[in-house]
Structure 1
């Protein structure tokens, strides 16, 4: 998406070139996605190494992604984003009560 010739991040609005309020930045979402996928991939690779050591690497990667991607997209990432939102709101309330 572009605004006045500048590319916008996925979480920015076109109208004012500002991030949508309440939405985690693209950087935070990237970190949260990595935090969801890395442990799932590490566990899956360990399990597949024990269960299917003779499988070709491409087949192992295919089976691993069949499990990891839906688990991350539908379970892990939404819960981590929810946790992040709760922590952000709590931090804002604490900052507001100190003023």
Structure 2
């Protein structure tokens, strides 16, 4: 993946940046085309942590959102949602 931007709210620990980058960065193997840009934003609202992620491929944008109680939980949830979308895209392309 060429570029991953990780944005953290004040309440999110800095070590979340590396975990998010590694987890989202590993999605490129599921993409039907090269991922030009990846972005993940982590915020918190009292006891809930929110993750919004976006991947830009040559011809399409993939987005996902998740919320949970821990940083690793929301990163893993948003990654899995994006992975499912990418795999689904590959399936559609394979059958066309």
> What TM-score does the superposition give when structure 1 sets the normalisation length?
0.34
> What TM-score does the superposition give when structure 2 sets the normalisation length?
0.35
Structure of greater relative contact order (alpha carbons < 8 Å, 6+ residues apart): 2
| Structure richer in strand, relative to its length | 2
| Structure richer in helix, relative to its length | 1
Larger Rg computed on CA atoms: 1
